[in-house]
Amino acid sequence: MVAVGLTATGFAATDWTAWRDARETELLKLPVTPVAVNAEPAALTLAQSAFVRRVAPSVLSALEQEPATAAFLQWLTARRAPLEDFCATIQPGEEAGTVLRLWAQLWNGDPTGRDKYYRLALACALVFDRPVKINPQLATGTVDMAERYAYYRRCAETGGLRVPLEELAPFELVWVVDAPVPTRELDWARHNVSYPRSKWGQAYADVAYRLDKALREANPYKEYTLAEIKRKGGICTDQAYYAAISAKANGIPAMILVGQGQRGGHAWFGFKAAREKWDMNAGRYSGDHFATGYTTDPQTGQRVKEQALLLMADYQRRQPEYLLATRLVWLADVCAAGGQRDRALAALETATQLCPRHLPAWTALFAQYRDGGAPAAKLAAQLEAVRSAFREYPDVLDLVAEWEVAMHRRAGNDTAAAESLRDQQRRLSSRGKTGERTDLLVETVLERAQLLADSGDLAAADNLYREALRQQNRNLPGFCALADRYFQFAEKHNRRADAVRVILDNFSRLPVTGDPFSQLAYARAERQMAGYLERDGQAGRARDLLARADRRERQARAAR
């Protein structure tokens, strides 16, 4: 095999750009094969290149001048596994320099554990690069990163966690260390909530449901501790909070999930039930047909769908082939920057063959084909290959549809783009269980209607909205989302009166039960409909509908 650079030690130069370029010069000679990228020192060199590309030489130069981080950088750049974990976990938009400073702080503070617990330290740095505020219902202030690291390190050393820390990758550990509570709450949960890891979903039911809080906003708490929540009961948000925090306290990655269903909003939780399995349905009411659940990404603070976490947890991500494919993607970056486009393509093609569910590899490969002017047939074949690989992941299929639409629009073929969206709508409507993904279906309808409107075919866009409303007239969340966008479209294009009539006619067909939560959800929808009537100049009908909504809500909240 071709020898690659002097990589036995970390950074030992005066210029990070020159240091990276010297390594990438050698990488340009590396065979584009899994065997080549799996061998040392090539694997370390690839990680070093990816590291400098993600952090930027100017940031690293500044860090190198700081005594607290200089020695840490020497340590880090000489070790492949920590470099690979960093490059694979940090997300676009995160301040890499801040993350490295925090990681260095924990590294400096734990000379004996810095190698064994580097993943825990990295996860803490990735989460605490933004202040983690303690739940304001419980206390004021923020969680201390060093204290959080020390808690999990101590528990791991004494065997006090349900999951060995070495089992968890940094992208999983961020869902452990992010609990917005002081250490005393974690200690309480570790000593007072006890379930087998696979059965942690039962913790949700530890909190007795309180209808008075749900319907009449009663507040039973003096202090919002886990102990008090268990003692006094609560609603779904309290149940999910209790279960998720107690899981995190025991080293189990977990998150609170929220979503809109037939009876309004609900909270449940997801957790890692086994090495190869996540349970995203603990406390979820299957009869309410939640299209998706949302949570907050502890690294970015952004709202994300539960399906993004399921893709993250896909079993292929834990296979050796995933890491090899990642290295091939990094090699492709080097080759593309060095003008070796054919080698970049070969690296990405090899990566997708080696690990078919490596989405970053597919994304980079499609971009290379598209920007390189690949024939339409080749692009279409690639899109079908991605669909085949991710057929169990509707969100990825939706992403592929976006690629396809963008490809057609870039070629000036709006007709083909509209056909792609129509095909995607058909797929979402006929996928059995995934047909409940009304969030994706609504998004596809909106994009297709916008495309038709942009092309000047307002009648077709109007008909599309009407048909979609008819299809969703048994699904309250989907119907309300579509109705709002249809009304905006109608106002913009002077079609408001007809739109209001169509919306109200379909709304009258929506089912509603005597369940108080169903009544409350329907009352909120009635207020939305009243808003359309008001803006259409039908003030009398709007007042009648609002009065009906008020009566419905009063009756629902009086339920026992």
What is residue 425's predicted lDDT score, i.e. its pLDDT?
Answer: 87
pLDDT of residue 170: 97
Contacts for 445-451 with beta carbons within 8 Å, 24 or more apart? Answer: 445/482, 446/482, 446/485, 447/405, 447/421, 448/418, 448/421, 448/422, 449/485, 449/489, 451/405, 451/414, 451/417, 451/418, 451/421
Taking the C-alpha atoms of residue 209 and residue 420, their distance in angstroms, rounded to an integer, is 46
Rounding to the nearest 10 degrees, give the CA dihedral for residues 463, 468, 471, 477.
-150
Q: Which of these, 134, 112, 110, lies nearest to 121 by C-alpha position?
A: 110
Q: What's the sign of the alpha-carbon dihedral 52, 58, 60, 61?
A: positive
Pairing of strands 254-261, 264-274: antiparallel
- Taking the model in full, what pTM does it have? 0.93
φ and ψ of 509, to 5 deg? -90, -5
Do the beta carbons of residue 487 and residue 469 sit within 8 Å? Answer: no
What's the confidence (pLDDT) of residue 63?
A: 95
d(CA 33, CA 277) in angstroms, rounded, equals: 31
Rounded CA gap, 349 and 386, in Å?
Answer: 12
Scanning the structure block, which residue is given the tokens 């690069």? 129
Intervals of the chain under pLDDT 70: 1-10, 12-13, 431-435
- Distance CA(428)–CA(448), nearest Å, equals 14
CA dihedral 247, 251, 253, 257 (to 10 degrees): 20
Structure tokens at 124: 């803490």
Q: What is the DSSP string of 274-323?
A: ETTEEEEEET--GGG--S--EEE-TTT--EEEHHHHHHHT-GGGGSHHHH
Backbone angles phi, psi at 67, to 5 degrees: -55, -35
Question: Which neighbouring-strand residues pair with 296?
Answer: 303
Which of 194, 198, 312, 305 lies closest to 249, judged by CA? 194
Q: How far apart are CA 417 and CA 4, in angstroms?
A: 46
Tokens 């400098």, residue? Answer: 52
- What is the C-alpha to C-alpha distance for residues 134 and 141, in angstroms, rounded to an integer? 6
Tell me if 37 sits within 8 A of 30, measured CB to CB.
Answer: yes
Question: What are the structural domains of the chain?
Answer: 131-313 (no CATH), 356-363+370-557 (1.25.40)
CB 75 within 8 A of CB 10: yes
